[in-house]
Copies of this chain bind each other. A is one copy, B any other.
């Protein structure tokens, strides 16, 4: 984006701010649903700053502009902000204050801070309130000031809404409503307000395309003991969808009316009726309406946990889909390793593909499957030093060529009828150093040991994280991210409430791991300027046995993609590690071979041969 365009947009926003008496205006990258990824309509920060990363907050002051983003985007943001005069605030770097701390220091007494209360989550809004109330700063959050000067703003998405047959869930929306109401009853709630999109998709058994790679439909719901109202933008609903809502006794109302309906409930419900809301997963504006009732239940909606525990039917679909997806990635690995081998033999400097082309090739292979209706996120195909950037994305105009040496890291997944996949393999393109092999082997050992865990019912991811991390910690190495995240079912590729992380935070409740949950297991090594390694399988939590000492859980692999044996240094593994690897490779062959042709089978047999 041109420097002038940005300056012009900001200056129009400043005029508006002046008109309404707003001193400072803050634009987060959020929608009213606290989605991890937001649709174009809510890309306000991108419009006003020109910065295109997925995470950023823009603060417009009378004489300056600042943009906060995280380590993934420092380089990109510097490039994109160049010449605009917007100051880059590198989150987490020494001496860089948080937005709240900056505002506390820099806003004059009595100033007005503006932001769109609709595109700002309630928790952050409350934090602002708390930090700034002493200074007499007032918050003006009722108007989307930036939106009002945004020319040619894209409309709110209104794509097709698809009804997914019950056979993919093993239970109907009516069943799920019943379960939700029963939890409301237990908790003493008379009404439940939900803004979180994946919770709503889970409940409604519909999918859409309002957000890229996350098949959701923008909506809110207000569920009482008797009624369920869905606030959804007016679109052409197919007959089956309309019928489904009717049969499930769900009333449809316009998307924009959610706040009014909440307001009406707040004003008119009996004094002892309790409203269940989740301040972490709703907009500040909705929260300000809801909080006028004093007896609210403020905690995650019951849908959060229900959604995470997949039904038997969902698990059956997931297992099938993960095999299908594993076949695709395995074929991709064979192809790309073939190219690397040819290049090496022919002493060519390139395998004939760039990172970007490799990613596109894999995407085409996935999307060729009739059940794969989207990718689950933008494929990461990162070669050499690029892989050391955890969230690297090769761009058409900026990417590396792949040479027949070192590692190619590929992190990818698809949205299938029957499941969302996510998998990472680090693929050997040619010669490796001993250090590369060591780091690959330690990551692999961590992945296998965690997958092999036996643990008592009641454990959370914090109890288990060290199983994946210990082989690296022993060498003084740590990956600066969690070991695992939950995954949606034909939904977001990141989903709570469970995860596998080690760091203690008394503010964050931890979810127990329960059979039916699925979770990633992805240790790695990131060596800046050199290479990146990540090995990611998705695991299903299963019940192993009940003994006099309790019920024990464990994991089952959903992912069956071979581990590249060329990077394994057996001398760094215990005999048990080696058996775990051999057993996994054997299972890969047994699971995939029926889907492969003879050439592919022969190739795979060689790859998985016992070490």
Question: Which residue numbers of A lie inside 8 Å of B, CB to CB?
Answer: 453-456, 458-460, 462-467, 470, 473-474, 476-478, 480, 502-504, 506, 509-510, 512, 544-545, 547, 549-550, 552, 574-576
Q: Are A502 and B575 in contact (CB under 8 A)?
A: no
Q: What are the 9 A-B residue pairs with the smallest beta carbon separation, nearest first? A: A476-B547, A478-B549, A454-B473, A454-B474, A574-B574, A463-B502, A460-B504, A504-B510, A476-B545
Q: Are A549 and B464 in contact (CB under 8 A)?
A: no
Q: Are A473 and B502 in contact (CB under 8 A)?
A: no
Instruction: Give the distance to chain B from A398, nearest Cβ to Cβ, in Å.
Output: 27
Q: Are B470 and A504 in contact (CB under 8 A)?
A: no
In the complex, A512→B455 CA distance in Å? 23
Q: Which residues of B contact A545 (CB under 8 A)?
A: 476
Q: Which residues of B contact A473 (CB under 8 A)?
A: 454-456, 552
Q: Are B574 and A502 in contact (CB under 8 A)?
A: no
Q: Which residues of B contact A512 (CB under 8 A)?
A: 504
Given A453-B470, A456-B502, A504-B462, A476-B574 contact (CB < 8 Å): no
In the complex, A510→B477 CA distance in Å? 24
Oligomer copy total = 2
In the complex, A502→B476 CA distance in Å? 24
From A510, which residue of chain B is reached at the shortest CB distance? B504
Q: Are B476 and A549 in contact (CB under 8 A)?
A: yes
Q: Are A552 and B453 in contact (CB under 8 A)?
A: no
From A553, which residue of chain B is reached at the shortest CB distance? B473
In the complex, A467→B454 CA distance in Å? 12
| Given A458-B503, A462-B462, A466-B466, 17 additional A-B pairs, CB 8 A | A454-B474, A454-B476, A458-B502, A460-B504, A462-B463, A463-B463, A463-B465, A473-B552, A476-B544, A476-B545, A476-B547, A476-B549, A480-B549, A504-B510, A574-B574, A574-B575, A574-B576
Pull 10 A–B residue pairs with CB atoms less than 8 Å apart, ordered by A.
Answer: A454-B470, A454-B473, A455-B466, A455-B473, A456-B502, A458-B504, A460-B504, A462-B504, A463-B463, A504-B512
In the complex, A506→B509 CA distance in Å? 7
From A458, which residue of chain B is reached at the shortest CB distance? B503
From A473, which residue of chain B is reached at the shortest CB distance? B454
Q: Which residues of B contact A478 (CB under 8 A)?
A: 456, 549-550
